[in-house]
Amino acid sequence: MTEAAPETLSVVVERELSHPPSKVWRALTQPHLIAEWLMKTDFAPVPGHRFGFHAEWGAVECEVREVEPDRTLSYTWGDHDLKSVVTWTLAPSGAGTRLRMEQTGFRRDQPRYFGGAQAGWPRFLDNLEQLLTGME
């Protein structure tokens, strides 16, 4: 018996950060900090809040789905064609925080979006780590 291929693809990036969950949470939820490592945004950690991310190449439209301070953050991420969900999971660890980012919902006919996420998220998380190191 063979397993059916999943309908959609996901990108997962995990990092062990030497910072407490509360500090990582601030970097994930405060617009002026998000702008330093990801993109400009009008984000607010309130379920149902609609916001966008803006960069030179364009913008994505988002809506907050789940907020559990210092633990879980989830929001939609898309445009006219892409309908995906980004979920951040924070877990305390011996070194500080185990951070997991998962973006789900890439259709198999969307290799450009999927490839962009595979290449982009590791770079964004590198930027996040640099920001955290410089934060008070």
d(CA 119, CA 124): 9
Question: Which residue type does 78 have?
Answer: G
pLDDT tens, N- to C-terminus, the chain (136 residues): 555 556 899 999 999 999 999 999 999 999 999 999 999 999 999 999 999 999 988 899 999 999 999 999 999 999 989 999 999 999 999 889 999 999 999 999 999 999 999 999 999 999 999 999 999 7
pTM (two decimals): 0.93
Question: What is the Cα Rg of the chain in Å?
Answer: 15
Provide the pLDDT for residue 3.
52
* CA–CA–CA angle 109, 115, 120 (5° rounding): 145
Provide the pLDDT for residue 108.
94
- The domain limits of the chain are 10-134
Provide the pLDDT for residue 7.
86
d(CA 37, CA 30): 11
CATH superfamily of 10-134: START domain (3.30.530.20)
Question: Which residue type does 65 have?
Answer: R
H or E element, residue 48: none
Cβ distance 86 to 101 under 8 Å? yes
d(CA 12, CA 39): 19
Exposed / middle / buried, residue 28 (Cβ in 10 Å: 0-12, 13-18, 19+): buried
d(CA 42, CA 118): 24
Provide the pLDDT for residue 50.
98
